[in-house]
Structure 1
Amino acid sequence: MTEHAAGAGTTPLLDTKSMLPGIACGLGASLCWALGFVATRHGLKIGFTPVDLLMHRYLWSGIVFVPLVLRAGLGDLCGIGWGRGMALMMLGGPVMSIISYAGFMFVPLGHGSVIQPSCATLGGLFLAVVLLKETISLSRLAGAVVIVCGLAVIGSESIGHMGPSAVMGDLIFVLTGLMFAGFATLVRYWRVSAFSVATVISVLSLALFPLYAASGGLARDAAIGLDENALQAIAQGILAGPAALYMFAQSIQRLGVARAAVFPAIVPALTLLLGWLLIGEPPTTLQAAGLITVLAGFYLAQRQS
């Protein structure tokens, strides 16, 4: 396949051996995001603000990646270009993250962990067909439908608690899910390096740190304690940040947008499991049923036929 054809979004037939690394990267990214969701819930409960979590998400990785970006060259921003780099930062970086964190101020964590990934999946499939002209098989389409059904089961418990503020929170997660779908599509369309995406977003985000320090954020962090800050630095700054972005970008490049768009949809299931294992919140019967349904949809969506 020529480079032009690949850029146009044509999805080649993939054999099982070539798909395995992409699937592994997608699963790894989903696990990192789920850990980030659980850490976010824990952090907000003990006194961190959304802005504090945003700082942990990008500061540490940004500092580590500065020499790499400088070595690769600021002129074309590691080969991505400033225009494209800023677009990716808006859709998949701190702008999307702070909006998402704000959503947790209006609704429980369960809303965000269901609505945002499901909208990312649906948006990714739609953009893959419309913009990239990828072909979506009946199996993958059926898998997407089953996943949405599973997510609906998981989220059905919260419907009775909906109010004006909850509706606002849900709409925030719809927005951030669609933003991430746009991010995934552009990564594929522009054929940018997975490592460059992760490093550039982290380094560009350092420009926000002076504003954070001036607002008194460092004093808030110090008051909470070293252990909790270290936990958020690992969960947000490494796992949910550059590690997840890198693995997801690799998944997009190896599998295509349509297949890779499925992975954010399993984040709710992983979040339920990790919430049970790490913070002692076992899933209810409805949540367990939704988990099984999502996994079934994931299997269908990864089939080639």
Structure 2
Amino acid sequence: MKRSFIYVLLVGIMVAWGLNVTALKVLVEHFSPVALTALRILTAGLVVLLFLWGIGKLERVSWNEAKQIGLAALFSVVAHHFFLALGIARTTAVNAGLVLGLVPLVTALLAIVFLGQRPTLFRLLGIALGFFGVVFVVASGDGGLGHLSIGDVYVFLAVLAQGISFIMIKKATVEARVMTGWMLVFGSLWLFVLSLVLEPSGLSSLKEGTLPLWLIFLASAVVATALGHMFYNQAVQHLGPAESAVFINLNPFFSLLGAHWLLGEPISWMQLAGFLFIVAGVMFGSGGMDDVIARFRRAKVAAGGRKVGMW
């Protein structure tokens, strides 16, 4: 697979993930959030497993691997999508998309703590810039920081849960695509249980959907969640996690545009400033700048070596 094609594929995935925030905003206004999320995640999980079965990659997992999948699913699927559904229902799609841009940044911070990665100056600067950007985002809401939206807090908890799950996936011994499929299925079952407890009429709300709403649902479940996660994991295998993570910087950008163009949500100068801080923070905090400097140093050493050879 050519690198140029992978780059185009990653940009397409970021478009899908960014617009998915707008899609979820529309869906949670018509359906009970947790019940909707459970059905969406189950659909995505079944699509992933069916795809893997079709290409002969649906491997059996051991009991130890099943425990790894189950624990990761509690954070990656249950906690992440539970808080995301609640948050999107209580904040704007613009704010949700911008806060979701902290995923690679939070993951970098957790990697420093739990994986022992060296906290370079660029990573620490990125963490500071990213959280400063979130302050700009939430301060632009009604009442500013004194009236912080509970929806913004829920979305950040979703980000934190996903960051924790990435650490677990990093340590897991299961193939990434297989783990993704089973995590989605196992996690959706837990979400259905939560829906029955928190939303007694949640499942019945799904009966009132219109054809356009179900088309949005299928696009979110199949394109953004199922195919998006599978192909992103495949890109990671080809490019590596550091280079692939740089493309996540585009996620809040497309989310911002989608919310503005499709929902008519206004974009304030503070939200734009917050977006710029978050993107700068991700570039520094996810290791992107460290990789650029390392490549520059290797190129400089190689160039110096060639000069020595000429003499």
Instruction: Report deviation, 1:270.
Output: 2.3
Instruction: Report deviation, 1:99.
Output: 2.3
Gaps in structure 1 of 5+ consecutive residues: 1-16
Equivalent in 212, 237, 258 of residue 227 of structure 1: 212
The DSSP-based 3-state class of the residue aligned with 1:81 is: helix
Residue aligning to 1:112: 96
Q: Is 1:198 paired with 2:180?
A: yes
- TM-score of the pair, normalised by structure 1: 0.73
Residue aligning to 1:184: 166
Q: Is 1:157 paired with 2:143?
A: no
In 1, Cα distance between equivalents of 2:88 and 2:163 = 20
Instruction: Report deviation, 1:200.
Output: 1.2
Is 1:59–1:209's contact at 8 Å kept on the other side of the alignment?
Answer: no
Equivalent in 239, 244, 252 of residue 223 of structure 2: 239
Q: Is 1:267 paired with 2:261?
A: no
Residue aligning to 1:14: none
Residue aligning to 2:16: 32
Equivalent in 107, 120, 123 of residue 124 of structure 1: 107
Instruction: Report deviation, 1:218.
Output: 5.2
Aligned length: 283
- TM-score of the pair, normalised by structure 2: 0.72
For each residue in 1:117-171, what CA deviation from the matched residue of structure 2 results, as whole angstroms up to 9, or x when unmatched? 42x334311222233233454445434443444343333201625677x554443
In 2, Cα distance between equivalents of 1:31 and 1:112 = 15
The DSSP-based 3-state class of the residue aligned with 2:84 is: helix
In 2, Cα distance between equivalents of 1:55 and 1:101 = 10
In 2, Cα distance between equivalents of 1:189 and 1:196 = 15
Residue aligning to 2:288: 302
Instruction: Report deviation, 1:250.
Output: 4.3
Report the identity percentage.
Answer: 20
Is 2:133–2:275's contact at 8 Å kept on the other side of the alignment?
Answer: yes
What one-letter code is carried by the residue in structure 2 that aligns with 1:86?
Answer: G
Instruction: Report deviation, 1:97.
Output: 0.4
Structure 2 CA distance for partners of 1:171 and 1:64, relative to 1, 3 Å: closer
Residue aligning to 2:42: 59
In 1, Cα distance between equivalents of 2:7 and 2:124 = 18
Gaps in structure 2 of 5+ consecutive residues: 294-311
In 2, Cα distance between equivalents of 1:287 and 1:69 = 43
Instruction: Report deviation, 1:34.
Output: 1.7
The DSSP-based 3-state class of the residue aligned with 1:133 is: coil
CA RMSD of aligned residues (A): 3.8
Is 1:259–1:302's contact at 8 Å kept on the other side of the alignment?
Answer: yes
Residue aligning to 1:290: 274
Structure 2 CA distance for partners of 1:193 and 1:277, relative to 1, 3 Å: farther
What one-letter code is carried by the residue in structure 1 that aligns with 2:104?
Answer: T
Is 2:91–2:152's contact at 8 Å kept on the other side of the alignment?
Answer: yes
What one-letter code is carried by the residue in structure 1 that aligns with 2:175?
Answer: S
Structure 2 CA distance for partners of 1:41 and 1:293, relative to 1, 3 Å: same
Residue aligning to 2:81: 97
Equivalent in 87, 102, 107 of residue 71 of structure 2: 87
Instruction: Report deviation, 1:246.
Output: 2.6
In 1, Cα distance between equivalents of 2:82 and 2:42 = 14
In 1, Cα distance between equivalents of 2:181 and 2:80 = 17
In 2, Cα distance between equivalents of 1:19 and 1:268 = 23
